[in-house]
Structure 1
Amino acid sequence: MNIVVLVKQVPDTEGDRKLDPSDNTVDRAAVDPVINYIDEFAIEEGLRQKEAHGGEVTILTVGPERATESIRKALSMGADKAVHVSDEALHGSDAVATAKAIAKALGTLEFDIVIAGSEATDARGAVVPAMLAELLGLPQLTLARKLEIDGTTAKIERIVDGGFERVEASLPAVVSVVEKINDPRYPSFKGIMAAKSKPITVQALADLALDAAEVGLANSWTQVASFENAPPRAAGQTVKDEGDGGVKIADFLASKKLI
């Protein structure tokens, strides 16, 4: 079975993330980069499916040269190889443009299933897997908390209000997962050493036959028009209760139009 796992490198959520005022895009140099949190669950699920059904796991990343660091970590977890789509023209691409690039890259690979995290922590759009399935003309199984593959059929369980639902589709298909699906493994020392020799294929837009006019900040459907830094937190107000504390609090809330 040929399994492709989508991985994105994002700014560490523990850092002080910010936008670059020069073009209103995420300032990726301001904070240490890491693998998108939910993508680690996607990697783990790809590895588990490989262990159950055989085959190989390919990591697919769209991002700058620095994303190689995250690719190597994914390889150290046990993936077999990687494809890194990297081109300056991709800078600032929104979800639509990014999905186009991923779809083109997948067109150069043989795959039975594509597994992705449900969303990225630097955008929280949760739309790329669905867009990708639409571009490829494939079934989508989204927000999976459990994945089973039976022959040429993929089956998932998806959490909904009041319980869960079961959904299935024929392969090939696109599956997005949530963090309840598994517990990602830690790379072993042996895995870290082995990752250094695993192949990474770097592709530019020309290799994908993708026109630069379809991607990048200037050609994206969505852009950040402007932004302002959050104002510093104001000092709190202390209410001294002299028998009328409740009234004072009510007056304060009323002044803020909260009641």
Structure 2
Amino acid sequence: MKVLVPVKRVIDYNVKVRVKADQSGVDLANVKMSMNPFDEIAVEQAIRLKEAGTADEVVVVSIGVKQSQETLRTAMAMGADRALLVVAADNVETDIEPLAVAKILAKVVEEEQPGVVLCGKQAIDNDMNATGQMLSALLGWSQGTFASELELKDDAAIVSREVDGGLQTIKVSLPSVITVDLRLNEPRYASLPNIMKAKKKPLEEKTAADYGIDPTPRLEVLSTAEPAERAAGIIVGSVDELVSKLKEAGAV
């Protein structure tokens, strides 16, 4: 069975994001970029499935700018077998919207015919949490979202997923789209020998036009602003004073 894993290039989670002075967007100049952490978990899970003999091949795909090659090489250094880069933007500040990504991925799935698609549940830059669900709808496949445990058995996937009330375990038929959550696993670090080997692994490059998809954004960002600074707290001397302060603030 083949496992397909979409990965996204995002600002590294350790970097403090800064807004441009003209509020036109986020400043990406000289900013460290890395693989979306949720996608990294998906890559790790796919590799574990291969190591367990459940999967035969792990293919990673990224949709965005040419610089996403670095992200794909990282995934191959972790253990993915090959990669596909779909160039859908020239400007690193252009964020491809979830529907366009899902449409391109649907075309990739038609070509690759994987048994399962493992996605991160969301990207940490836009927090859309929509691509996996949209892909499932476009393909007409079953889906399991927010997976904290995953087991592939016969022609089905058993997914333990996080919901508001705790954990829910579902069984979905394959092929399926599974989106993964933080608690699924701990991604491995790519060793230096594997980083060198990744440079020789096949990385195919295509464009959105090759799939007949127009990735032009449908949303326009009018302005971007830093979140409001949190107001300082105050110390109260009694419960009565606390209640009084809360009433004044309109919290009670």
TM norm structure 2: 0.86
TM-superposed CA distance for 1:54, in Å, is 4.0
Name the amino acid aligned to 1:36: N
Cα deviation code 1:14-33 (max 9, x no counterpart): 22324568894554446211
| Alignment-derived partner of residue 131 in structure 2 | 128
| Aligned counterpart, 1:196 | 199
User: Identity over aligned residues, as a percent?
Assistant: 32
Q: Within 5 A, what are the aligned runs for 1:57-72?
A: 57-72=58-73
Secondary structure, aligned partner of 1:58: strand
Specify the alignment match of 1:4 in structure 2.
Answer: 4
d(CA) in 2 for partners of 1:10 and 1:36?
A: 6
Paired with 1:203 and 1:237, the residues of 2 have a C-alpha distance of 54
Aligned AA (2:77): S
Structure with max Cα Rg: 1
The residue aligned with 1:79 is 80
| 1:165-184 alignment runs, 5 A limit | 165-184=168-187
Partner in structure 2 of residue 100 of structure 1: 103
Unaligned runs of 5+ in 1: none
Q: 1:81 offset after TM fit, Å?
A: 0.4
Whole-angstrom distance in 1 between the partners of 2:147 and 2:229: 39
What RMSD, in angstroms, separates the aligned Cα atoms of the two structures?
Answer: 2.7
Distance 1:87 1:246, change over 3 A: same
Matched length:
249
Equivalent in 139, 143, 148 of residue 142 of structure 2? 139
In structure 2, how many angstroms separate the alpha carbons of the residues matched to 1:237 and 1:41?
38
- Which runs of no fewer than 5 residues in structure 2 stay unpaired? none
Residue in 2 that maps onto 1:225: 222
* Separation (CA, whole Å) in 1 of partners of 2:163 and 2:200: 42
Looking at structure 2, the residues matched to 238 and 44 of structure 1 have their Cα atoms a distance apart, in angstroms, of 46
Asked if 1 retains the 8 angstrom alpha-carbon contact of 2:23 and 2:225, the reply is no
Q: Which residue of 1 aligns with 2:16?
A: 16
Distance change in 2, residues 1:98/1:54 (3 Å): closer
State yes or no: 1:119 paired with 2:122: yes
